[in-house]
Amino acid sequence: MTVNQAFRYELEPTVRQRRLLAKAAGTARYAFNWGLALCKRLLNAGKPVPPAVELHRLWNAEKPRRSWVFDVSKCCGQEALRDLDRAFGNFWRGRKEGHRVGFPRFRRKHGRRDSFRLTGSIKVHPRSVTLPRIGCVRTKETTEKFRGRILSATVSREADRWYVSLAVEVERDDPQPVEGPVVGVDLGLTSLAVLSDGTLLESPKPLAKVQRRLRHRQRLHNRKQRGSRNRRKSAAGLARLHRRIRCQRTDSLHQTTTALAKTKSVIVVEDLAVHGMIRNRHLSRSIADSGWSEFRRMLEYKTQWYGSQLVIAPRFYPSTKTCSACGHVKTEMPLGDRVFRCEACGLEIDRDLNAARNLASLVAGSSPETQNACGAEGSGQEKGLVKPAAVKQEPLSRQPTAAAVGNKRR
Ligand SMILES: [Zn+2]
């Protein structure tokens, strides 16, 4: 099967290359903002936003007046405008479907992230990557061998480091279906996740340590005078710390999702909206949210790679309120209650474990041969709780491109 996979490496640019990278990123940002300003003007005048092709044409007409854009690859501007087009597309679609997608925003010069995308002749060598108009840039680690076609390279800056992410169309062997149990996964607040077989997946310890330090540094930062040199220095330090946290979290998510996809035949998780709406009120939202959606996204493509199956529970399935032994549904299960106590059968069980078992039983009901493997009590089905038909199965090839973009490490 053909999947789109991303290979990401940290770059080790020379001083000259660093300047070129910054210039390319600056041009991309400029083109994006130029296009956005144009679109805003048109919208205010009651005209529609021009399609991407038209934007390109206008941009090309604009270029001779800004000769510095010729110092970098023409892709920088073009791809930035394509991003703008996509941002508008998401915005309109969000409006139509009732999601909250923000109106495209101007890119800031001193933002935390800077990036640009290149297409065309991109080459990968064992310890370097050749990019159009920038040349051969060393990578900090050896690159991987892959068979496939390179579609594009996205170069981004995080704090003071540069990364390249190659989008590659990779040919993968079709996987053998994984022989293993069905497992329900409840993503926890205190631990990373709880599996229906009782396994507790801990969040990595260093993460908590760095997070404490982050809070401290954030406080110090807030006391520094705006616009001062000290404030800028501490901002850079903060950005490095943020990056470290992000890396550690991503790494643990990768380990967990790979292990799950390789050993379980079916993985059942809760619908993400449930987490967002109900369970997450007391946590630092952004951290938890991104972790959960990453978890789900990784499972989506890894289950395809390794031959297991991902099942998303229906949005209003009461996995936390239902007794996993007898199927009794509580009217209420406050967030603070760590233990589930059933009024009907007297079961006392960890809240997250109970939810994980309920998730697993969603699938156990649909195919008899997986019932034993799942280990969930069968009595839940008699209550008419389990409706296999209601289980939303993610079609395997729903998003052949976006879903399969992964990290190069696994
Ligand atoms: Zn019960």
pLDDT in tens, 249-271: 888 889 989 999 999 999 999 87
Among 148, 171, 194, the domain-final residue is: 171
Distance between Cα 342 and ligand 1 center (Å): 5
Cα–Cα distance, 378 to 389 (Å, whole number): 17
Q: Are 187 and 292 in contact (CB under 8 A)?
A: yes
Domains held by the chain: number: 2
- Closest by CA to 123, choosing from 157, 162, 166, 154, is 166
pLDDT band per the 50, 70, 90 thresholds, residue 390 = very low
Given a cut of 70, whether residue 369 has pLDDT beyond it is: no
Residues 261 and 374 grouped into a single domain: yes
Which pLDDT value is given to residue 241?
87
- What confidence score (pLDDT) does residue 383 get? 33
Asked if 364 and 325 sit in the same domain, the reply is: yes
277 and 159: one domain?
A: no
Residue 319, in any domain of the structure: yes
DSSP state letter for 277: I
pTM of the model: 0.69
Active site residues: 186, 270, 352
Residues above pLDDT 90, as percent of the chain: 50
User: Looking at the domain assignment, is residue 225 inside a domain?
Assistant: no
The amino acid at 130? T
pLDDT of residue 290: 55
Note whether 278 and 353 are same-domain residues: yes
Q: Does residue 308 register a pLDDT over 50?
A: yes
Shared-domain flag, residues 166 and 186? no
Token pair, residue 81, equals 């405008």
The identity of residue 219, as a single letter, is R
Specify the pLDDT at position 1. Answer: 85
Q: How far is the CA of 199 from the centre of ligand 1 (A)?
A: 21
| Same domain, yes or no: 128 and 267 | no
In a domain, 8, yes or no: yes
> Percent of the chain beyond pLDDT 70?
82
Domain-embedded: residue 101? yes
How high is the pLDDT of residue 46? 94
Q: Identify whether residues 194 and 111 lie together within a single domain.
A: no
In a domain, 229, yes or no: no
> How close is the Cα of 271 to the center of ligand 1, in Å?
23
**Residues in CB range of 39: below 8 A, 6 or more apart:** 49, 50, 84, 88, 104
Contacts (Cβ under 8 Å, ≥6 apart) of 175:
304, 305, 306, 307
Q: Are residues 14 and 155 in the same domain?
A: yes
Is 154 found in the same domain as 198? no
Q: Which residue range is the domain that position 352 belongs to?
A: 182-202+253-399
Judgement on whether residues 165 and 194 belong to the same structural domain of the protein: no
Is the pLDDT at 121 greater than 80? The verdict is yes
**pLDDT band with cut points at 50, 70 and 90 for residue 205:** low
Residue 148 lies in a domain: yes
Question: Looking at residue 206, what is its pLDDT?
Answer: 67
**Which of 10-24, 93-107, 232-246, 306-320 is the most confident on average?**
10-24
Task: Say which residue, 94 or 257, is predicted with more confidence.
Answer: 257
- pLDDT averaged over every residue in the chain: 82
State mean pLDDT over 146-167. Answer: 91
For residue 323, the CA-to-ligand 1 centroid distance in Å is: 5
**99 located within any domain:** yes
Task: Give me ligand 1 centre to Cα 127, in Å.
Answer: 59
Structural domain contains residue 212: no
Alpha-carbon dihedral of residues 7, 10, 13, 19, nearest 10 degrees?
A: 90
Q: Which of 206-220, 283-297, 317-331, 354-368 reaches the highest mean pLDDT?
A: 317-331
Q: Confidence band (pLDDT; 50, 70, 90) for 43? A: very high
Helix axes 52-62, 75-97, angle to 10 degrees: 150
101 plus 46 within the same structural domain: yes
User: Which pLDDT value is given to residue 102?
Assistant: 85
Q: Residue 266 in contact with residue 309, Cβ under 8 Å?
A: yes
Q: Are residues 16 and 105 in the same domain?
A: yes
Q: Is a pLDDT exceeding 60 seen at residue 408?
A: no
pLDDT score at 285: 47
Q: How does residue 366 score in pLDDT terms, banded at 50, 70 and 90?
A: very low
